[in-house]
């Protein structure tokens, strides 16, 4: 049996795109999230979304300037959080 | 943003006949022309704009749902329609499933907030399995409208 590495990571990310976290960035995020083994969620004002689901992400209604808490739990949590935070910082390559 | 704020009741369609992505987008845009929400002269340009948007990545968001959309200067406010395809069609969705439920949106270029709020409402409802199931089973436009009205009432009650 492989040893389990329970790792958690979290950080705050800000939506910087003028159009908010709309479908295209949500799709990029969902695709990226599926590349990792860890669970990944975003929280906004107490509402939690699964990063692998575009539908779930869209329910956040995250407009420009929204600050979200990104949380990961699993063996590759650190690298997942880092990669997703970069996606937010790069404005999802939209600007 | 409630469905009643952006879905044109006259445009919703329960029996989409299209078999491809191009066809269904044209069919849905035509429902907005027939409902008087957009002008005939703008139809082809809006269809092209929606297709260009699809080239950036499919708006098939999973669970058999697609949300094709575009901004277009010909509309003064966000307008949308709902369509149901009983057989479903390939929309290059993220999860690889056929799309059966369509929410097509056309918004003015300067109102990204309204577009986001409409997507938020649609997505919230889609998390409800019962809503998806009943929408997929809609046989008439009034079935769809009843379901949207019920969703609006429930969202204002919560």
Structure confidence by residue, pLDDT tens digits, B127-149: 899 999 999 999 999 999 999 99
Q: Rounded to whole angstroms, how far apart are CA atoms B36 and B158?
A: 33
Q: Which residue has the tokens 């009741």?
A: B9
> If pLDDT is split at 50, 70 and 90, which confidence band does B111 have?
confident
Q: Rounded to whole angstroms, how far apart are CA atoms B32 and B13?
A: 10
- Chain A residues whose CB is inside 8 A of the B117 CB are 61
Beta-carbon contacts of B39 under 8 Å, excluding residues fewer than 6 positions away, are: B33, B74
B112 touches chain A (CB under 8 A): yes
Nearest partner of A19 among B70, B68, B58, B111, judged by Cα? B111
Nearest partner of B108 among B54, B24, B49, B48, judged by Cα? B49
A49 touches chain B (CB under 8 A): no
B111 touches chain A (CB under 8 A): no
Beta-carbon contacts of B87 under 8 Å, excluding residues fewer than 6 positions away, are: B19, B98, B100
- Chain A residues whose CB is inside 8 A of the B65 CB are 55
pLDDT of A86? 96
Candidates B59, B112, B120; nearest CB to A19: B112
- Is pLDDT above 70 for A39? yes
In B84-126, alpha helices (H):
112-126
Measured between CA atoms, how close is A54 to chain B, in angstroms? 6
Helix (H, G, I), strand (E, B) or coil at A69: strand
ipTM summary value: 0.79
pLDDT (mean) for B82-108: 95
Q: Rounded to whole angstroms, how far apart are CA atoms A41 and A57?
A: 9
pLDDT of A6? 61
Question: Considering the entire predicted model, what is its pTM?
Answer: 0.89
């Amino acid at each position: 049996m492989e040893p389990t590495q329970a790792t958690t990571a979290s950080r705050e990310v800000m939506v910087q795109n003028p159009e908010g976290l709309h479908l295209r960035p949500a799709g990029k995020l969902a695709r990226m999230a599926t590349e990792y083994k860890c669970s990944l969620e975003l929280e906004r004002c107490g509402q939690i979304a699964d990063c692998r689901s575009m539908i779930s992400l869209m329910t956040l209604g995250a407009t420009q300037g929204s600050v979200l808490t990104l949380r990961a739990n699993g063996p590759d949590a650190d690298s997942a959080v880092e990669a997703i935070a970069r996606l937010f910082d790069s404005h999802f390559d939209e600007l | 943003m409630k469905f009643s704020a952006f879905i044109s009741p006259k445009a919703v369609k329960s029996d989409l006949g299209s078999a491809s992505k191009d066809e269904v987008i044209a069919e849905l845009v035509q429902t907005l022309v027939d409902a008087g929400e957009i002008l005939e002269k703008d139809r082809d340009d809006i269809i092209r704009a929606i297709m260009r948007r699809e080239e950036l990545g499919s708006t098939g968001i999973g669970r058999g749902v697609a949300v094709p959309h575009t901004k277009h200067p010909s509309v003064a406010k966000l307008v949308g329609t709902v369509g149901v395809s009983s057989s479903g069609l390939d929309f290059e969705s993220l999860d690889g499933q056929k799309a059966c439920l369509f929410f097509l949106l056309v918004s003015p270029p300067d109102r990204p907030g309204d577009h986001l709020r409409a997507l938020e409402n649609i997505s919230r409802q889609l998390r409800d399995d019962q809503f998806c199931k009943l929408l997929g089973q809609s046989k008439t436009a009034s079935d769809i409208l009843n379901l949207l009205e019920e969703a609006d009432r429930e969202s204002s009650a919560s």
